[in-house]
Each structure stands twice: as structure tokens, then as C-alpha cells.
């Protein structure tokens, strides 16, 4: 079993896009790992199942 990042964010200052694991509310606000800015937006990634719309396009 392996862990998959489940939150996707984008920095408004440097436009860096990054993924993280579920943020811990006790660890403080989300910061951009590239520039350290607190001006980030994003949220949970919606993961589809084995029969989501994208998987059916290949058949």
C-alpha cells in the first residue's frame, strides 16, 4: 500500500502548483513550499474509482 497526496494547491504569488496529504489544522496555514507565501488556494482532490469516465475512454 502506498500513500497518494489528497490535496492540490496553487500559490497566487509564484503560480507554483503542489500536492500535499490531508492538512493538519493544528499545523497552521498552508504555505507554498517554493516561496513561502500564504496566498494559496485549493482543496481536496477528487479521486475516481476504477470505472470513472476517464477509464471508459480507453475502451
pLDDT in tens, 1-17: 566 668 899 999 999 99
Q: What is the arithmetic mean of pLDDT over 41-46?
A: 84
CATH architecture type of domain 7-47: Single Sheet (2.20)
**Mean pLDDT rounded to a whole number for the chain:** 77
- Rounded to whole angstroms, the Cα distance separating 42 from 45 reads 9
pLDDT digits (tens, 9 = 90+) for 21-39: 776 666 788 899 999 999 9
> What's the pLDDT band for 58 if we cut at 50, 70, 90?
very low
Can you tell me the distance from the alpha carbon of 49 to that of 57, in angstroms, rounded to the nearest whole number?
14
Amino acid at each position: 500500500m502506498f500513500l497518494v497526496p489528497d490535496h492540490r494547491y496553487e500559490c497566487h504569488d509564484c503560480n507554483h502548483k503542489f500536492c500535499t496529504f490531508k492538512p493538519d489544522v493544528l499545523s497552521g496555514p498552508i504555505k507554498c513550499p517554493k516561496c513561502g507565501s500564504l496566498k494559496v488556494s485549493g482543496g481536496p482532490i477528487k479521486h475516481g474509482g476504477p470505472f470513472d469516465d476517464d477509464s471508459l475512454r480507453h475502451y
